[in-house]
Amino acid sequence: MPDTTPTNADWVATASTLSQALPLFQRYAGATVVIKLGGHAMGSDAAMRSFARDVVLMSHVGVNPVIVHGGGPMINEMLEKQGVVSDFVHGKRVTDAETIKVVEMVLSGLVGKRIVQAINAEGGRAIGISGKDASLMICEQTDPALGFVGTPVECNPKFLQSLNDTKTIPVIAPIGAGRNGETFNVNGDTAAGAIAAALKADRLLLLTDVAGLKDASGEVVSEMTPEAIRQMTADGVIQGGMIPKTQTALDAIDGGVRAVVILDGRVPHACLLELYTEHGAGSLIRT
Ligand code: X2W
């Protein structure tokens, strides 16, 4: 058996890596980073632990992380158990009065609390809320044909600032309150974009299950402008399920977010790779 006990040189190398991280940590100290964790990017318990650990690390080095989650596959699973089949129109779930109850229970209950617990288990302090809490996200009906699907029309992120003041990490379910007491189901990307814009976030990281935006030859493009995205969409290079993500990115940038990154949340340490290495991850969109 080879001796794997770390040598003095190994410890020096570890200390050197930590030291080299200082300017990188300084770059995002004080930055607000909104992270959208999609249901498809939520993997095994081990992957969730790793994600949570990265979020806690960011918080420790001065980032203000704000998590907005999805959970589409988990909602499908619960609806299936009840024998309900959902229809999607342009990526949005047609949500009737019974469905919205399941959506709220699954997102605010199961999915949100799983993330909260994972962050807390790594030594962070997370709190699970939805767009209803502190009137964070007020919505209007998107389209009568979609039922209780909402479009955010007013965000009140002041409460999130008070959480940041106490180093508490918000984990937000994309559920909105209507002005007449309704509960609205909001697409997770849309909710993350609206909250990031209200916070004038430095970064919006959209963690999904694709490597990023691809050009006509199928290569992932590492950086592009909103104009390039509009052109690629007009040319049909960006299509299908990517369009809601790129639209979210464009709206967020119009709303004051400095940059949006679409990246593969299944890659280990995706958020750290993006923020703290020159390599980056996925596709960065900024003017
Ligand atoms: C989504 C909310 C969850 C979500 C839904 O009901 O599935 C609408 O479609 P992912 O995992 O990010 O796709 N809402 C209106 O967005 O989850």
Residue 73 has which token pair?
């596959």
Q: How far is the CA of 188 from the centre of ligand 1 (A)?
A: 5
pLDDT for 127 equals 98
| DSSP β-bridge partners for residue 66 | 34
Percent of the residues in the chain that have a pLDDT greater than 90, as a whole number: 81
**Separation of alpha carbons 184 and 139, rounded Å:** 7
Q: For 254-263, how does the pLDDT look when each residue is reduced to its tens digit (9 = 90+)? A: 999 999 999 9
pLDDT for 281 equals 81
- Which is the closest atom of ligand 1 to the Cα of 86? 6
Q: For 125-147, how does the pLDDT look when each residue is reduced to its tens digit (9 = 90+)? A: 999 999 999 999 999 999 999 99
pLDDT for 51 equals 95
- Residue 49 binned pLDDT confidence (cut-offs 50, 70, 90): very high
Residue 227 has which token pair?
């104009």
Q: How far is the CA of 165 from the centre of ligand 1 (A)?
A: 30
Indicate if the pLDDT at residue 4 is higher than 90: no
- Mean pLDDT, residues 53-68: 97
* Backbone conformation region of residue 83, classed left if phi is above 0, alpha if psi is from -120 to 50, else beta: left
Q: How far is the CA of 59 from the centre of ligand 1 (A)?
A: 26
- Residue 69 binned pLDDT confidence (cut-offs 50, 70, 90): very high
Q: For 81-127, how does the pLDDT look when each residue is reduced to its tens digit (9 = 90+)? A: 999 888 999 889 999 999 999 999 999 999 999 999 999 999 999 99
Q: 111, 146, 187: which to mutate for ligand 1, most atoms within 8 A of CB?
A: 187
Beta pairing class for 183-185 and 203-208:
unpaired
- Residue 161 binned pLDDT confidence (cut-offs 50, 70, 90): very high
CB distance 66 to 129 below 8 Å = no
**Separation of alpha carbons 233 and 227, rounded Å:** 10
- Which is the closest atom of ligand 1 to the Cα of 186? 15
The protein residue with its alpha carbon nearest to ligand 1, atom 6, reads 93
- Residue 240 binned pLDDT confidence (cut-offs 50, 70, 90): confident
- Global pTM reads 0.94
Q: 23 CB contacts (<8 Å, ≥6 apart)?
A: none
DSSP string for the chain: ----PPPHHHHHHHHHHHHHTHHHHHHTTT-EEEEEE-GGG---HHHHHHHHHHHHHHHHTT-EEEEEE--HHHHHHHHHHTT----EETTEE-B-HHHHHHHHIIIIIIIHHHHHHHHHHTT--EEEEETTGGG-EEEEES-GGGBSBEEEEEE-THHHHHHHHTTPEEEEESEEEETTS-EEE--HHHHHHHHHHHHT-SEEEEEESS-S-B-TTSPBPSEE-HHHHHHHHHTTSS-TTHHHHHHHHHHHHHTT-SEEEEEETTSTTHHHHHHH-SS--SEEE--
- Which is the closest atom of ligand 1 to the Cα of 107? 3
Indicate if the pLDDT at residue 2 is higher than 80: no
Indicate if the pLDDT at residue 277 is higher than 90: no
- Which is the closest atom of ligand 1 to the Cα of 41? 11
Q: How far is the CA of 10 from the centre of ligand 1 (A)?
A: 46
Residues in contact with ligand 1 by the CB-under-6-Å rule are 38-40, 70-72, 75, 92-93, 103, 149, 174, 185-188
pLDDT for 278 equals 76
pLDDT for 154 equals 97
Establish whether this prediction's ipTM goes over 0.90. yes
Active site residues: 36, 39, 72, 189, 245
